[in-house]
Amino acid sequence: MSGKTVGFIGLGYMGEGMATNLLKKGNALIGMAHRNREPLERLIALGAGEAKTAAEMAGRCDAIFLCVTGSPQIEALVRGADGILAGMKPGLVVIDCSTAEPTSTDVLAREIEAAGGRFVDAPLGGTPAGAMAGTLQALVGADDETFAAVEPLIACWAATIVHVGPVGTGHRMKLINNFISLGYAALYAEALALSAKVGISKDVFHSVIGQGRMRSGFYDTFMKWVMERDENAHRFTVSNAYKDLRYLGAMADAAGIANPLGAASKNSFAAFAAAGGAEKFVPMLADFIAAANGTKLD
């Protein structure tokens, strides 16, 4: 499916890099602005076109990528008066790279298929730098035929592509992935606060954990904020983390499984968001937890 006309909705931290790679690797690209036109203008300068509505885009494109906040936004883009269903041509493939609520994904897939299209969930893993470099991870939910068709497009921005299973399994696996990573964030934040409280500096903490078996790529970007105050190291907002852990809780409820560690992690982000930190980035949770416990990391 490479060399097609591809739409992209959601030109944020991740989306701009992904769309840039789709364009640079031989696809005609059509973008759509939301609150900020600057990413779209940069793509237009590279040769992209513009659609004013999702319906217009759906009538012009062979495939549309979505990379937005969550299920309410996805549902509005698909079902709205100017949404994808209102304008889609037969055969359109909608590829949702957002982190979404899986039961919503299941319903939207049926609606798109009933209208003559196909729906793929392909949530991503990585950073904005990885998006621009084309080295993200994609977790894809699709039938075998559709996966084979969309894999060349996804490969424009992903270095690692895992076909998880049928539609919906990509989003389910992504929530499990984020449960682990955001659980680590909550654990690091509490461990750092406890260390500071008992007289162990962040430098000593990092010299131990950063050179041991607990080190990981997630740890490195989290600690780049803690150690260097580099707010660009891990640009994933607290509001998104809180949303993902709420979706995880709903998935656990639907599966009938206890999820106490997920709930504890969610509550750390819920408290930070409620205290005004919703648009802060995930590693900044460390400072919030430290302050809540009457200490500082510096």
Active site residues: 174
Question: Is residue 286 classed exposed, middle or buried when 0-12, 13-18 and 19+ CB atoms within 10 A define those classes?
Answer: buried
Bridge partners of 64? 7, 94
Decide: 247 and 101 in contact? Cβ < 8 Å: yes
Decide: 48 and 4 in contact? Cβ < 8 Å: no
CB atoms within 10 A of CB 228: 9
CB atoms within 10 A of CB 255: 9
Written as one letter, the residue type at 183 is: G
Distances from the Cα of 189 to the Cαs of 42, 85, 272, 282, in angstroms?
A: 37, 43, 12, 10
